[in-house]
Amino acid sequence: QKQQGSSDCGVFAIATCNSLAYGVPLVLDQSKMRYHFSCFQNTFFTPFPKEFHNLIIKSQS
């Protein structure tokens, strides 16, 4: 996913690692990322907010 602007590259790097750790698709909602980043200051880690309108998940059967 490509970020908009140039001020969120650090947050994007951390969100990418976070998505890999949780095993979730990397489809981030950039407008909510900085607010969500506060979970790291509180040492309470949760997946970053996602955008679901373009997300298609294939079932494994």
- pLDDT of 7-45, one tens digit each? 778 888 888 887 888 888 888 788 887 777 777 777 777
Q: Which two tokens stand for residue 21?
A: 């750790």
Amino acid letter for position 47: P
d(CA 15, CA 11): 6
Helices (DSSP H) in the chain: which residue ranges? Answer: 9-22, 30-36, 38-41
Q: Using CB atoms within 10 Å of the CB of residue 18, give its burial: 0 to 12 exposed, 13 to 18 middle, 19+ buried.
A: buried
Over 60: is that where the pLDDT of 49 sits? yes
